[in-house]
Amino acid sequence: LAEKAWASRDQHATTRDGHRMEICANLGETAKAVEAVEAGAEGVGLLRTEFVFMAQSSAPGLEAQIAEYKKAIDALDGRPLVARTLDVGGDKPLPYWPVPKEENPFLGVRGIRLCMQKPELLETQLRALLTAAGDQPIRIMFPMVADWSEWRWAKDMFDKVQAEVQAKDVQVGIMVEVPSAALNAQVFAEEADFFSIGTNDLTQYTLAVDRGNGELASLSDGLNPAVLRLIKMTVDAAHAKGKWVGVCGELGSDPKALPLLVGLGVDELSVSLKRVPMVKAQVRDWSLSACQQLAEQALLASDANAVRALVGEAK
């Protein structure tokens, strides 16, 4: 099966009844963009840019960042790059950026909240991303947006930089990984060009389960109907405004989740690059109508195990 998937990796991921999904790769370093394209990825759906900031003992400058992002943009050769701006926090401090120790770092100053304390850091990153893109497609998204004020601040910063740089093909979006962002998606969809659902954190915050706590691993399941409902709210709100939605968390490469994400109307899946050929092959094995039926049933299920059983019966 893996061989067959690899052989067809450059074909589109289209369901039996003709519904096309976009399949992209998650990257933690720009050097891997070449491999992503080789694996059949239609773009990079999540570039975790932390590596640019963690690799050294001082903040990376504009030119160094431009050179780094250009590696991915050049390798993608016209395919879109979705870059997430710096997402560090109390549990992952930067050596050159001391932050006070927090009781609950996952609920503390992380993601976009941390950038709000060092605006010049985000400003330089945005300038580097937009400059590196030039006339190639770039999508920029902000991590851990929970409140309108955070989006407002980040979007204003983006608008200011874009007015100067004027990248040609750019969209600006929000990572939906805090339940409030999904619950308020209707409002965010007025302004954001797209959403990308980070199911790792969305699951953690919806179920109050630390994503790194192995003891709670069985509870930490993104197929919990509560998480699926938040995904549905996000998709419905986005589509009502003509915006697109991706999923960039681990759930996207779970074969049991795949038909549900398709059925809920997710437009793009971004998975680790090794999984790209298989996810494309799996999409081809379902029909949209079957996926939609399954999704409807899953939303009414009692828990994640019931959802998994449902999908198991259907295949």
Which residues make up the interface to ligand PEP (CB under 6 A)? 46, 48, 177, 198-201, 248-249
Sign of the Cα pseudo-torsion (190, 196, 197, 198, in order) = negative
Binder of residue 260, out of ligand PEP, Mg ion, none (CB less than 5 to 8 A by kind): none
Nearest partner of 223 among 176, 255, 248, 194, judged by Cα:
255
Q: How far is the CB of 127 from Mg ion (least distance, A)?
A: 24
Binder of residue 293, out of ligand PEP, Mg ion, none (CB less than 5 to 8 A by kind): none
Sign of the Cα pseudo-torsion (120, 93, 253, 277, in order) = positive
State yes or no: residue 268 binds Mg ion (CB under 5 A). no
Q: Could you give the CA distance from residue 55 to residue 58 in angstroms, rounded to a whole number?
A: 9
CA 133, chain centre distance (Å): 19
Q: Could you give the CA distance from residue 234 to residue 220 in angstroms, rounded to a whole number?
A: 20
Binder of residue 248, out of ligand PEP, Mg ion, none (CB less than 5 to 8 A by kind): ligand PEP
Q: How far is the CB of 198 from ligand PEP (least distance, A)?
A: 3
Q: Could you give the CA distance from residue 256 to residue 53 in angstroms, rounded to a whole number?
A: 35
Q: How far is the CB of 315 from ligand PEP (least distance, A)?
A: 25
Q: Could you give the CA distance from residue 201 to residue 144 in angstroms, rounded to a whole number?
A: 9
List 137's β-bridge partners, or say none.
169
Q: Could you give the CA distance from residue 56 to residue 256 in angstroms, rounded to a whole number?
A: 39
Q: Which is nearer to Mg ion, 50 or 177 (CB)?
A: 177
Interface with Mg ion (CB under 5 A), residue from 22, 150, 177, 250 = 177
Q: How far is the CB of 63 from ligand PEP (least distance, A)?
A: 26
Q: Which is nearer to ligand PEP, 161 or 252 (CB)?
A: 252
Interface with Mg ion (CB under 5 A), residue from 50, 68, 193, 201 = 201
Say which residues have a Cβ less than 8 Å from residue 61's Cβ, sequence separation at least 6.
124
List 168's β-bridge partners, or say none.
none
Q: How far is the CB of 49 from Mg ion (least distance, A)?
A: 13
Q: Which is nearer to ligand PEP, 54 or 300 (CB)?
A: 54
Q: How far is the CB of 1 from Mg ion (least distance, A)?
A: 30
Q: Could you give the CA distance from residue 258 to residue 264 in angstroms, rounded to a whole number?
A: 10
Q: Which is nearer to ligand PEP, 46 or 264 (CB)?
A: 46
Binder of residue 48, out of ligand PEP, Mg ion, none (CB less than 5 to 8 A by kind): ligand PEP
Q: Which is nearer to ligand PEP, 140 or 310 (CB)?
A: 140
Q: How far is the CB of 84 from Mg ion (least distance, A)?
A: 8
Report the site for Mg ion in 180-199 (rule: CB under 5 A): 198
232 burial level (CB within 10 Å; 0-12, 13-18, 19+): buried
Structure tokens at 290: 């079957």
Q: Which is nearer to ligand PEP, 68 or 201 (CB)?
A: 201
32 burial level (CB within 10 Å; 0-12, 13-18, 19+): buried
Determine the length of the chain.
Answer: 315
Q: Which is nearer to ligand PEP, 179 or 198 (CB)?
A: 198
Nearest partner of 82 among 267, 230, 262, 220, judged by Cα:
267
**Amino acid making up residue 28:** G
Q: How far is the CB of 249 from ligand PEP (least distance, A)?
A: 3
Binder of residue 284, out of Mg ion, ligand PEP, none (CB less than 5 to 8 A by kind): none
Binder of residue 267, out of ligand PEP, Mg ion, none (CB less than 5 to 8 A by kind): none
Q: Which is nearer to ligand PEP, 201 or 254 (CB)?
A: 201
Q: Can you give the binding site for Mg ion, defined by CB under 5 A?
A: 177, 198, 201
